[in-house]
Structure 1
Amino acid sequence: MEEATYRGTVYPWQCDHVGHMNIMWYVGKFDEANWNLFARLGLTPSYLRSSGRGMAAVQQNIAYKRELLAGDIVEIRSHLLEVRDTSIRFRHDMMNAETGEFAATCEITGVHMDRQLRKSVPFTDAIREIAMKHLSVPAEA
């Protein structure tokens, strides 16, 4: 399994009236993992700024497995599932770092785009080459 793309904790203000982390915070933590995964693939902030490129999520599916409570330590590990001409599909596995239990999974399809034209564009050969080395088939969460 790859190195974590996110590590953090659940703060009390991130919990809802039921006492567990609210869904908006799951999405936020998954988003932070996105940017760490992208950087590993060469889609770094400097590349995105200098090239006028960006990444846009076009589909996201979250499955909630176990609740997270205030004080829990959260770890996300990310897996690149598919690389296409202009898009990638990947999955984040969110775990309670203390217990090792899966808390949620999030599968996302992201599109590489020209920010000015607002259209999808192919990945560069260099990014595609790096991405192909990161393809994985994760275990079921």
Structure 2
Amino acid sequence: MDVTYQGTVYPWHCDHMGHMNVMWYVGKFDEATWHLFSRIGLTPGYLRSHDRGMVAVDQRISYRQEVLAGDVVVIRSALLEARSKVIRFCHRMENAETGDTVAVTVLTGVHLDRKTRRSCPLPEEQLARATAMVTDYDPGL
């Protein structure tokens, strides 16, 4: 799994119970997603110039440990599956100090033609990169 995000939990990320709120887990996972997509060639430039997009059609999250203000987190990502129009991938968020897994998410994304609002095949080059990166990692969800 490759590092796709590193960051800090700030006090404003925490809810009234004192731990990072779920919306911030999703936000940090989203940032990791765009780094992962860029590695396979689904860059902002490609998406803009070809009028394409990526949409999440399924997301599952397992929260394993609380994350508190001041904690530093690292997200490692892996591609689990690459098909003509679909990419399935996971992110594992870790506490950078302890190495403990604090959350895991698995997402399914679909390549989209933004004009027609319909799924469309990934370009051969991006699909080949994605396929080469697929691993048999078991996210445990």
Common fold by TM > 0.5: yes
SS, match of residue 41 in structure 2: coil
- Percent identity among equivalent residues? 57
Corresponding position of 1:125: 124
In the TM superposition, residue 133 of structure 1 has moved relative to its aligned partner by 1.3
In the TM superposition, residue 139 of structure 1 has moved relative to its aligned partner by 5.1
Are 2:106 and 2:139, in contact at CA under 8 Å, matched by a contact in 1? no
- Is it true that 1:46 corresponds to 2:45 in the alignment? yes
Query: In structure 2, do the counterparts of structure 1 residues 52 and 45 end up closer, same or farther at CA, with 3 Å as the change threshold?
Result: same
Corresponding position of 2:4: 5
Which segments of structure 1 move beyond 6 Å, counting only runs of 4 or more?
none
Cα root mean square deviation, aligned? 1.0
Q: Which amino acid aligns with 1:61?
A: R
Which digits, 9 at most, give the CA deviation of each residue in 1:64-104, with x for residues without a partner?
00010000001001110001110110000000011000000
SS, match of residue 5 in structure 1: strand
Corresponding position of 2:92: 93
In the TM superposition, residue 138 of structure 1 has moved relative to its aligned partner by 2.1
Q: Distance in 1 between matches of 2:113 and 2:139?
A: 34
The gaps in structure 1 that reach 5 residues or longer are: none
Q: Which amino acid aligns with 1:84?
A: R
Q: Distance in 1 between matches of 2:85 and 2:134?
A: 16
- Is it true that 1:108 corresponds to 2:90 in the alignment? no
Q: Which amino acid aligns with 1:136?
A: T
Which digits, 9 at most, give the CA deviation of each residue in 1:3-44, with x for residues without a partner?
x10100000011111110000000000000010000001100
What TM-score results when the alignment is normalised by the length of structure 2?
0.96
Number of aligned residues: 140
Q: Which amino acid aligns with 1:110?
A: G
In the TM superposition, residue 137 of structure 1 has moved relative to its aligned partner by 1.9
What TM-score results when the alignment is normalised by the length of structure 1?
0.96
The gaps in structure 2 that reach 5 residues or longer are: none
Q: Which amino acid aligns with 2:4?
A: T
Corresponding position of 2:14: 15
Corresponding position of 1:33: 32
